[in-house]
Amino acid sequence: MLKAVYLHIPFCAQICHYCDFNKIFIHQQPVEKYLNSMKEEMVNSTERFPNYQMETIFVGGGTPTSLNKTQLQTFLKDVNDVFVNDSLKEFTVEANPEQTTEEKIAVLKDNNVNRLSIGVQTFEAELLKKLGRSHTREDVYRTIREAKKAGIHNMSIDLMFGLPGQTMEMFKRSVDEALFLDVPHISSYSLQIEKKTVFYNLAQKGKLELPEHELEAAMYDYLIESLAKKGYRQYEISNFAIPGYESKHNLQYWNNNEYFGIGAGAHSYVEGVRRKNAGPLKHYMNLIKETGFPYTEEHTVSLAEKIEEEMFMGLRKQEGVSDQQFKARYGKSMFEIYKEPIDRMIQKGWLKTEGDQLFLTKDGIPLGNEVFQEFIGVVLD
């Protein structure tokens, strides 16, 4: 049974220099028509795949809070009408601080949103400008203050490290400010240079000066140590939470569960099939109008692929992969299928076992991608 849905709002008031997500400037875009198409996709999807009962809803982008108050109300009402039920545990909306007004927060609260994921990235004005961000640290403080006042206390903030021109002292200040804000969840990840971004173009021209790998690694170590001292548990490679405030929605992905994906460029995983929606707005809306569904790619996931995904998604979590759950899903022990790579990674000190759980060691966490590669391409009997 499906228990999660992701909904994509592709509009942005400003495009960040590092972002490769499906996004478009909101100015003069057919926002209302797009939201109508999303509603049609929601209804059609749940009629075609009725075996669902939502526990988590996540609205991402783009910038969901780039919608005006009326548009946000219309969209959230549609989401509530289709997906909200008594089983719902977590309803998250991504928010940019400069566009998250007190009025919009009230709309979110009135429509069952109980968690905000706030794009902070850094508290340094100089670095925010380099990233193409338009908010200030004061915007962050105001957003969190107003959300708490409205009764939304479950919040996450994003922090980035390995940024152009970022020093260790800068990152330490951002971590300290994040802790001062007293939010129960922090996501933190290093900058990745992706194609079709401003940063990629600068890097190709040799005009993007990034911190050395050793400094980036030191930033990550500082992050882990500082958050642990304040009671945050690193429950996934890039995610830290006060116990009880882990992202229930993201755990659906890391537990390799199926989910709906609604909106332009969204991906879904339903009844063993991964589907990709059209990204360009016009293409997306035309497909909805013509066929009722915006799919441009459909791929039936093989047993081997499911098992690979179970391993490299599950190993992102601190608790790792349960062999009991693995056998219940696939009828065979992971220690049998992956004996050689598991033994090799344990010998290197990157994996360890406890009971029936297999998980990354402290030394293995920074080398996660290298470990995950060991579980791809193993031939099943």
The whole-chain average pLDDT of the chain stands at 95
Angle CA(317)–CA(322)–CA(323) in degrees, nearest 5?
A: 145
Q: What is the 3-state secondary structure (H, E, C) of 89-124?
A: CEEEEEECHHHCCHHHHHHHHHCCCCEEEEEEECCC
Q: Tens digit of pLDDT for each residue in 76-129?
A: 999 999 999 999 999 999 999 999 999 999 999 999 999 999 999 999 999 999
Cα–Cα dist 132/126, whole Å: 10
What single DSSP character describes residue 63? -
107's CB contacts (< 8 A; 6+ apart) are 69, 72, 73, 76
**Inside any domain, residue 22:** yes
pTM score, two decimals? 0.95
**Inside any domain, residue 295:** no
**26 and 137 co-located in one domain:** yes
CATH code: domain of residue 216: 3.80.30.20
Largest CA distance in the chain: 58
**Inside any domain, residue 233:** yes
**Inside any domain, residue 267:** no
Domain that residue 317 falls in: 303-373
Residues 29-33, mean pLDDT to the nearest whole number: 97
Which of 254, 278, 293 finishes a domain?
Answer: 254
Cα–Cα dist 365/309, whole Å: 17
Cα–Cα dist 353/326, whole Å: 14
Res 237: pLDDT: 96
**110 and 212 co-located in one domain:** yes
Res 379: pLDDT: 66
Cα–Cα dist 42/81, whole Å: 10
CATH code: domain of residue 348: 1.10.10
